[in-house]
Amino acid sequence: MSRAPGRGRSGPSRFRLNSDGRRHPLENVLSVGTILCGLIAFVTGFIPSAHPVASFLGVLGFVGGLYSQYISATTPERALNIVGIVASFVGVAFGIRHGGFLP
């Protein structure tokens, strides 16, 4: 069974950052970087001995995420930014609570 040209998949939709059909390489990299920094800061925020990592990556993810949110072009980028910003904030809060930026 063949599909008609120009028709999309009928199965589950994939998560795409370029939902408007244009390329946004800088915005995509910043969004993915924000979510990665946020997730690492969040996880290491629960480990008291890893407080410098959580603190630094949390601040980096928070500030970078705010800039990424400012220049974002699509809704999926904005969604990743918000999740990364919140995770970064929680990670930096726990990192500061466990000892701050210095080992």
Mapping DSSP to helix (H, G, I), strand (E, B) and coil, where does residue 14 land? coil
Asked whether residue 22 is assigned to any structural domain, the reply reads no
**What is the distance between the alpha carbons of residues 36 and 42, in angstroms, rounded to a whole number?**
10
**The pLDDT value given to residue 13:** 64
Domain count along the chain: 1
Name 101's Cβ contacts closer than 8 Å, sequence gap at least 6.
52, 55, 56, 95
Asked whether residue 83 is assigned to any structural domain, the reply reads yes
CB atoms within 10 A of CB 13: 7
Asked whether residue 10 is assigned to any structural domain, the reply reads no
Local confidence band at 21 (pLDDT 50, 70, 90 cut-offs)? confident
Local confidence band at 51 (pLDDT 50, 70, 90 cut-offs)? very high
- Domain carrying residue 87: 31-97
**Residue 63's closest CA among 39, 100, 92, 98?**
92
**What is the distance between the alpha carbons of residues 79 and 69, in angstroms, rounded to a whole number?**
9
Asked whether residue 91 is assigned to any structural domain, the reply reads yes
Asked whether residue 88 is assigned to any structural domain, the reply reads yes
C-alpha separations of 2 from 11, 12, 14, 93 in Å:
15, 18, 21, 54
Asked whether residue 70 is assigned to any structural domain, the reply reads yes
Asked whether residue 43 is assigned to any structural domain, the reply reads yes
pTM of the model: 0.83
Asked whether residue 20 is assigned to any structural domain, the reply reads no
